[in-house]
Each structure stands twice: as structure tokens, then as C-alpha cells.
Amino acid sequence: MNNEKISLLIDRYMKVSFYVNKMGELLIKDQICDVLTNEQYYTLRFIAQQGLCTSTEISEAFYINKSAVTSNINRLEGKGLIERQQDRSDRRVFHLKLSKEGAELLRETEHKIHKLVESIMTNFEYEEIVRFLDTYEKLSQIFIQMKNGKQEEM
Amino acid sequence: MNNEKISLLIDRYMKVSFYVNKMGELLIKDQICDVLTNEQYYTLRFIAQQGLCTSTEISEAFYINKSAVTSNINRLEGKGLIERQQDRSDRRVFHLKLSKEGAELLRETEHKIHKLVESIMTNFEYEEIVRFLDTYEKLSQIFIQMKNGKQEEM
DNA sequence: ACATATAGTTAAGTGATTGAACTAATTTTT
DNA sequence: AAAAATTAGTTCAATCACTTAACTATATGT
């Protein structure tokens, strides 16, 4: 493929991914209650999916430093949405879980977002969505391989 | 489509888009010189594409407040990468353009990113890329319509 | 027992953002 | 032509999310 063609694809991708992400964030912001930021919603979501979960796991899943996790979960704990529970057998570890309020808030938010996505999805054939996600996940796999390749250099 | 199926697609989409964006950001960060953040690179890129460009245009394109633009361009001007030029016929307006250093830095960065994307693209058929972008852009169009619909309510 | 590794926190600093109040310049209305 | 409204951009105070480096406390390996 020639350079011109590649540049055009780069422009298309950067433009559309920027716009879709931005709009996605704004739509989610509209759905979630004012007490949560989008990042905080993602964190709640992750903790709930893990069941029990530690700071280190969040740090690795979100590719951020553990100190960033500490401040994020401090904010969530301050709002009474999550709780820390010290592990008995290894007292360095703190397990995170949603409080009753956190779980309820997440449940409501998930419901709203589900409805929103449902309405968007009516514009697509199921096959088109799946094909799109397949390519997207293939790209994701390539990134994983690139990262592994890079780590082996070290 | 049933709820279960929708939830699965939501999970797939959120997971893959988060990961791809994150990795994309990290790869770009690797390419751009240490003096630039990713946001600053995007801003430089936009100013260059516009030729002449104002704060208000950046604000609208990036969906951020004008006060955020002011601080962003202050940082770029502080590094000597862009210049402000007051419009003669409307003295409220300041035109932004890349300085010689800014243009050179952007040129180098674009080249590196072009090489990177080229290497990633070898993993895909051209048709697969285009099909992916078509669906992505369709989603983007839907967001635009939703936004317009919402504005008409007001 | 001593050295090393791990889990998490603290502290200082930065970048990106919002919102409200503001200045200066331009346009519209009366 | 004067007054009112709009527009372009800035300033200020606050918040969030993040980084890096230094730290505490606990656990593990030799």
C-alpha cells in the first residue's frame, strides 16, 4: 500500500476513534449519576466484575500506578461506594468490594447504559457488530503481541 | 436481541475499546518526543491541518471549554512550538500557527507514527480495514444524529 | 536471622479539565 | 449615535487523574 493511502487511513482512524470515544464518554456521563466520574464508574464496574479485588489488580488492568489506584479508591471509599477489607492471612492485602450503596448505584447505571446501547444497536445488523468487534479484537491481539515482543528485548 | 446477548456485546466493546485506546496512547507516547504529551501532539496536529486556526475552533473540535484551550496553547507557546497572531480586522481573534520548531517536531513525529501504523496494518487485508472504518464511521454518524436530536429538544 | 520482594500509602508535582467572572472588541437594536 | 447584546479569549480557583520517589508494614527465600 502506498504512503498516501496509509496516511488517509490514519486520518480516518484518528478522527473517528477520537470522536466516538469522546461522544461515548459524554453519553455515559449523561447516564451516570453526578456523584460519579466516568473513571470512577469504570472502577466500580471492574470491582463488581471481579467480586473480590485488590489495588494491584486494578493497577494492572487499567495500566496505572498503584498510587493512582490508592487515590481513586480513596475517592470512592469517601463516597461510601466501596469498602476495604484486610486479608487475614496476608495483612498487606486489602480486598475491595462494593458497599450496598455502591452496588445499587452500579446496578442502576448499568441498566441505563444497557438501554442506551440497545437503542444504538438497532441501527446495525448483528453480523456487522460482530464483524466489527472481531477486527477490533484482532487489533487488540496485535498490541498484546507487540508488547510481549518488546518485553522480551529487555 | 435478548438482554444477555446485548450485555455480552457491551462487555466486549468496553473491554476492547479501552484496551486498544490505552495501548494506542502508549504507542504514540513512545513515538513522540518527551517534550510533548499526547494531547499536545493532537493539538499540534489539528493546528497544522487547519493551516490557520483559532482557540474557538479547537474548543469546538475537541469538545472542551475555551479556558482549557487557553491553558493548553499556553503550554505549547511556552515551549516555542506555536505562535499567536492577532487578526487585524477583528482584534478579538488570535490565529494560531506552528512555529518552525513546532512544524519540524510534528513532521518527525508524524513520520514515526506513520511507520508504526504501517507495520500494524500489514496484519490486515485492506478490505478488512475499510470495512472496520465504515462501521466505525456509521457509529460516529449515529452519535451526531443523537446529538442533533437532543439539541432540537431545547 | 537477614536480605529481598510485595502490597499499599504518602507527598509533591503536572496536565487537563470545568465553571464563573472578567476584559476587550464587535454587532445589533433601538 | 448610544445602549445593549454577543463574541473571542483570558484569569482564577477548584477537581480529577495521573507520575515518580520515598516510605511502612508484611511476607518470603536463602
Q: What are the sequence ranges of the domains in chain B?
A: 1-31
- Do residues A36 and A44 touch, judged by C-beta distance below 8 A? yes
User: Is pLDDT at A87 greater than 70 in this prediction?
Assistant: yes
Determine the Cα–Cα distance for residues B86 and B82; give it in Å rounded to an integer: 13
User: Is pLDDT at B120 greater than 90 in this prediction?
Assistant: yes
For A97, the 3-state DSSP assignment is strand
Q: How far is CA B43 from CA B18, B56, B74, B78, B84, in A?
A: 22, 13, 12, 14, 14
Write the pLDDT tens digit of every residue in B40-82.
999 999 999 998 899 999 999 999 999 999 999 999 999 999 9
Over residues A93-106, the mean pLDDT reads 97
Q: B19 touching A, CB under 8 A? A: yes
- Do residues B117 and A6 touch, judged by C-beta distance below 8 A? yes
CA/C1' separation A153–D28 (Å): 29
Q: Which of B8, B14, B122, B135 to mutate to test the interface with A (most CBs of A within 10 A)?
A: B135
What's the start-to-end Cα distance of chain A, in Å?
32
More confident residue, B114 or A151: B114
A132/chain B closest Cα distance in angstroms = 6
User: Is pLDDT at B151 greater than 80 in this prediction?
Assistant: no
Determine the Cα–Cα distance for residues A146 and B27; give it in Å rounded to an integer: 10
Give the model's pLDDT for residue B152.
Answer: 63
For A92, the 3-state DSSP assignment is coil
